Amino acid sequence: KDKVMDLMKEHFKPEFLNRIDEIVFFKALTLSQLQKIVDIYFKGLEKLFADRDMKLEITDDAREVLATQGFNPVYGARPLKRTIRQLVENPLAKKILSGEFKAGDTITVDANGDEIVFR
Protein backbone atom coordinates (compact mmCIF):
# COMPACT_ATOMS: atom_id res chain seq x y z
CA LYS A 1 0.00 0.00 0.00
CA ASP A 2 2.82 2.37 0.88
CA LYS A 3 4.62 1.57 -2.39
CA VAL A 4 1.53 2.41 -4.40
CA MET A 5 1.09 5.67 -2.54
CA ASP A 6 4.72 6.60 -3.18
CA LEU A 7 4.32 5.83 -6.89
CA MET A 8 1.19 7.95 -7.03
CA LYS A 9 3.05 10.86 -5.46
CA GLU A 10 5.75 10.50 -8.12
CA HIS A 11 3.30 10.45 -11.04
CA PHE A 12 0.50 12.81 -10.04
CA LYS A 13 0.45 16.41 -8.94
CA PRO A 14 -0.56 17.14 -5.34
CA GLU A 15 -3.59 19.08 -6.62
CA PHE A 16 -4.93 15.91 -8.21
CA LEU A 17 -4.13 13.69 -5.23
CA ASN A 18 -5.93 16.10 -2.89
CA ARG A 19 -9.13 15.55 -4.89
CA ILE A 20 -9.07 11.80 -4.25
CA ASP A 21 -11.16 10.91 -1.21
CA GLU A 22 -10.20 7.28 -0.91
CA ILE A 23 -8.09 4.64 -2.61
CA VAL A 24 -9.35 1.08 -2.54
CA PHE A 25 -6.95 -1.84 -3.02
CA PHE A 26 -8.22 -5.09 -4.47
CA LYS A 27 -6.79 -8.57 -4.46
CA ALA A 28 -6.86 -10.68 -7.61
CA LEU A 29 -9.88 -12.94 -7.94
CA THR A 30 -9.37 -16.66 -7.46
CA LEU A 31 -10.71 -19.34 -9.80
CA SER A 32 -13.21 -20.33 -7.11
CA GLN A 33 -14.53 -16.76 -6.89
CA LEU A 34 -14.81 -16.54 -10.68
CA GLN A 35 -16.79 -19.78 -10.73
CA LYS A 36 -19.19 -18.27 -8.20
CA ILE A 37 -19.62 -15.27 -10.51
CA VAL A 38 -20.41 -17.70 -13.36
CA ASP A 39 -23.07 -19.27 -11.11
CA ILE A 40 -24.60 -15.86 -10.36
CA TYR A 41 -24.80 -15.05 -14.05
CA PHE A 42 -26.27 -18.48 -14.83
CA LYS A 43 -29.07 -17.92 -12.30
CA GLY A 44 -30.37 -15.18 -14.61
CA LEU A 45 -30.02 -17.42 -17.66
CA GLU A 46 -31.81 -20.26 -15.87
CA LYS A 47 -34.75 -17.95 -15.16
CA LEU A 48 -34.81 -16.80 -18.79
CA PHE A 49 -34.89 -20.41 -19.99
CA ALA A 50 -37.50 -21.38 -17.38
CA ASP A 51 -39.76 -18.65 -18.79
CA ARG A 52 -39.50 -20.53 -22.10
CA ASP A 53 -40.22 -23.92 -20.46
CA MET A 54 -36.60 -25.08 -20.73
CA LYS A 55 -34.16 -26.08 -18.05
CA LEU A 56 -30.51 -24.97 -18.18
CA GLU A 57 -27.79 -26.77 -16.21
CA ILE A 58 -24.03 -26.23 -16.09
CA THR A 59 -21.33 -28.77 -15.24
CA ASP A 60 -18.28 -28.09 -13.10
CA ASP A 61 -16.06 -28.51 -16.18
CA ALA A 62 -18.01 -25.87 -18.12
CA ARG A 63 -17.96 -23.56 -15.11
CA GLU A 64 -14.17 -23.86 -14.94
CA VAL A 65 -13.71 -23.27 -18.69
CA LEU A 66 -15.91 -20.16 -18.61
CA ALA A 67 -14.20 -18.80 -15.49
CA THR A 68 -10.75 -19.39 -16.97
CA GLN A 69 -11.51 -17.97 -20.42
CA GLY A 70 -13.51 -15.06 -19.01
CA PHE A 71 -10.77 -13.81 -16.70
CA ASN A 72 -8.25 -11.14 -17.55
CA PRO A 73 -5.60 -10.13 -14.99
CA VAL A 74 -5.97 -6.46 -15.97
CA TYR A 75 -9.77 -6.28 -16.14
CA GLY A 76 -10.65 -8.97 -13.59
CA ALA A 77 -14.05 -10.56 -14.18
CA ARG A 78 -15.36 -7.88 -16.55
CA PRO A 79 -14.75 -9.98 -19.70
CA LEU A 80 -16.67 -12.89 -18.13
CA LYS A 81 -20.08 -11.61 -19.23
CA ARG A 82 -18.85 -11.26 -22.83
CA THR A 83 -17.33 -14.76 -22.70
CA ILE A 84 -20.61 -16.27 -21.49
CA ARG A 85 -22.49 -14.41 -24.21
CA GLN A 86 -20.10 -15.62 -26.93
CA LEU A 87 -19.66 -19.21 -25.75
CA VAL A 88 -23.09 -19.96 -24.28
CA GLU A 89 -25.87 -17.49 -25.09
CA ASN A 90 -25.23 -16.93 -28.81
CA PRO A 91 -24.63 -20.59 -29.74
CA LEU A 92 -27.65 -21.68 -27.67
CA ALA A 93 -29.85 -19.08 -29.35
CA LYS A 94 -28.83 -20.45 -32.76
CA LYS A 95 -29.55 -24.02 -31.65
CA ILE A 96 -32.97 -23.03 -30.32
CA LEU A 97 -33.81 -21.16 -33.54
CA SER A 98 -32.72 -24.16 -35.62
CA GLY A 99 -35.02 -26.42 -33.58
CA GLU A 100 -32.25 -28.46 -31.98
CA PHE A 101 -33.61 -27.50 -28.54
CA LYS A 102 -37.27 -26.82 -27.79
CA ALA A 103 -39.70 -26.24 -24.92
CA GLY A 104 -39.53 -29.00 -22.33
CA ASP A 105 -35.85 -29.76 -22.97
CA THR A 106 -33.12 -29.79 -20.35
CA ILE A 107 -29.95 -28.27 -21.77
CA THR A 108 -26.67 -29.12 -20.09
CA VAL A 109 -23.76 -26.76 -20.67
CA ASP A 110 -20.63 -28.91 -20.53
CA ALA A 111 -17.01 -28.74 -21.61
CA ASN A 112 -14.98 -30.94 -23.90
CA GLY A 113 -11.44 -29.82 -23.14
CA ASP A 114 -11.50 -26.03 -23.57
CA GLU A 115 -14.61 -26.09 -25.75
CA ILE A 116 -18.15 -25.48 -24.48
CA VAL A 117 -20.66 -28.10 -25.66
CA PHE A 118 -24.41 -28.55 -25.16
CA ARG A 119 -26.20 -31.81 -24.38
Span 16-68, pLDDT tens digits? 999 988 888 888 888 899 999 999 999 999 999 999 999 999 999 999 999 99
Is residue 38 included in any domain, yes or no? yes
101: closest CA among 80, 118, 78, 81? Answer: 118
Examine the pLDDT at 77 and tell me if it is beyond 90.
no
pTM for this model (two decimals): 0.78
Is residue 12 included in any domain, yes or no? no
Q: Which residues contact 29 (CB under 8 A, 6 or more apart)?
A: 37, 71, 76, 77
Instruction: Report the CATH number at residue 58.
Output: 1.10.8.60
Question: SS3 for 24?
Answer: coil
Which pLDDT score is estimated for 74? 79
Q: Alpha-carbon distance 4 to 6, whole Å?
A: 5
64: closest CA among 87, 97, 90, 46? Answer: 87
Is residue 22 included in any domain, yes or no? no
Work out the angle between the directed axes of helices 60-69 and 31-50 (0-180°, nearest 10). 110
Domain that holds residue 105: 29-118
Identify the helix (H) or strand (E) that includes residue 119: none
